[in-house]
Homo-oligomer: A and B are copies of this chain.
Amino acid sequence: MAANLVGEKLAQATAILDELGVDLWMIVARESDVLGDPSLPLVVGTSVTWESFFFISRSGERLAIVGTGDVENIKQTGAWDEIIGYVQGPTTALLDALERFDPRQIALNYAPDNNMADGLTFGMYLKLREMLGKTRFWERIISGEPIASRVRGRKSDEEIRRIRASIATTNEIWEQLEEWIRPGASEREIAEFMHEQLNRRGLSSAWDWNYCPSVTAGPNSPIGHAGPADVTLERGQLLSLDFGVLQDEYCSDMQRTFYLLAEGETEAPAPVERGFRIISGIIRAAADALKPGVAGWEVDQVCREAFAREGITEWGFALGHQMGRSVHDGGTLLGPRWERYGRQPYGIVEENEVYTLEIGMTVPGYGWLSLEDDVVVTANGCEFLCEPQTKPILIG
């Protein structure tokens, strides 16, 4: 990651600490290639092997305590000016640093309801308790959720630029698919075609390769985070894909639905057209409701009310999630107040957050119709980062 992006995010973190009145954000990590705090790539910009402690203070100081073998690696990010390397163990350096900073609060990344702010493992928590449990610092520990969540959610200019670029690539791939797709292709072949597009560009999928894309062809295919099956696409059926790319460390996440014209048809049949009107209409209405200051669940509510009004099956997922470095970028969720989503739907939408808006419905006899667009929240509303799909993409 470019040092300037880490620099942007670190500056943001300091401003957020000030806004929240918190003295110190301490990120703890080890073997981060395997299991690393999700904030690490944003504000540290590299991985670590040994137990590491990153101090970001309200006054703008930045200190890293890392195993000696990681020192060069942190140095090369260019974002951390004070780096303490240890050989035998970190406790002494950690205690010295806490004495020096003497923060009134120490924010750690744990959050029952927000995986993106929940990077501290339980074992590391127990270890911290061993190190600090008898010091005055232990009672100063608070959850870093509001910090991690804001640093992640509020996209910088560079982050939005990268997301736009990922979406542009995704649009290119949709066009390639439109040219290539034909009756008789199996879901598996369609997924292989999409993977080939990624490979050719040297890109990764935005989520698990095995179900990115997820492909739903016609009325006989399972829906959800499922890998593609041997189901074959036929004329007179809908084809829906959920797909995103990871490019330059940032994601896109879109759903597009195609209709394969039956013999003699020149346009999609009425039930399909009606489905597109309903689904794209709801996405439009949700976008109209999305602006700084509303709660996530209020935007989701728009979609649930519309489904009830149309008399179709309720949407069993959240209407939208944040997107960025990860495809589910955590924090505020445009979702219903269900147990599964915890506190996330209660979050308040902020400017510069990027969300997906996604819903789908079954069109009986034709298949699964789903749309997903990406938007960025502006000062007074939101802006689409892609051209929203409003009609079926017809395949002759």
A interface vs B, CB < 8 Å?
30-31, 33-38, 46-47, 49-51, 67-73, 75-76, 86-91, 108, 110-127, 130, 199, 202, 207-208, 210-211, 222-227, 316-317, 326-328, 330, 338-340, 342
Contacts and interface: CB of A to CB of B under 8 A. Distances in A.
A247 to B, nearest CB: 15
Contacts of A38: 34-35
B340 A67 contact: yes
A123 B118 contact: yes
Given A31-B115, A33-B326, A123-B110, A224 B73 contact: yes
A146 to B, nearest CB: 14
A328 B67 CA distance: 15
B222 A72 contact: yes
Contacts of A340: 50-51, 67, 86-90
Given A35-B119, A76-B227, A210 B46 contact: yes
Contacts of A37: 35
A376 to B, nearest CB: 21
Given A69-B317, A75-B226, A76-B210, 17 more contacts: A34-B326, A34-B328, A35-B36, A49-B225, A72-B222, A72-B224, A73-B211, A73-B224, A87-B316, A87-B340, A88-B339, A90-B339, A91-B339, A118-B121, A120-B122, A120-B123, A122-B122
A20 B375 CA distance: 52
Across the A-B interface, the 9 shortest Cβ-Cβ residue pairs: A89-B339, A72-B226, A118-B123, A110-B122, A69-B224, A112-B127, A88-B338, A122-B125, A31-B115
A184 to B, nearest CB: 23
B35 A115 contact: yes
Nearest to A221: B72
A222 B35 CA distance: 27
Most buried by B among A76, A222, A225: A225
A208 B47 contact: yes
**Interface residues of chain A: helix, strand, loop or mixed (majority):** loop
Contacts of A111: 123
13 contacts: A33-B208, A34-B326, A35-B118, A50-B340, A67-B340, A71-B224, A73-B208, A73-B227, A91-B339, A110-B126, A117-B123, A118-B124, A127-B342
Contacts of A207: 33, 47
A34 B115 contact: yes
Contact of A115 (B30, B130, B327, B338): B30
A222 B70 CA distance: 11
A288 B322 CA distance: 54
A238 to B, nearest CB: 18
A90 B111 CA distance: 18
Contacts of A47: 207-208
Given A89-B339, A338-B89, A31 B67 contact: no
Contact of A121 (B46, B67, B110): B110
Nearest to A131: B339
A199 to B, nearest CB: 8
A120 B116 CA distance: 14
B73 A328 contact: no
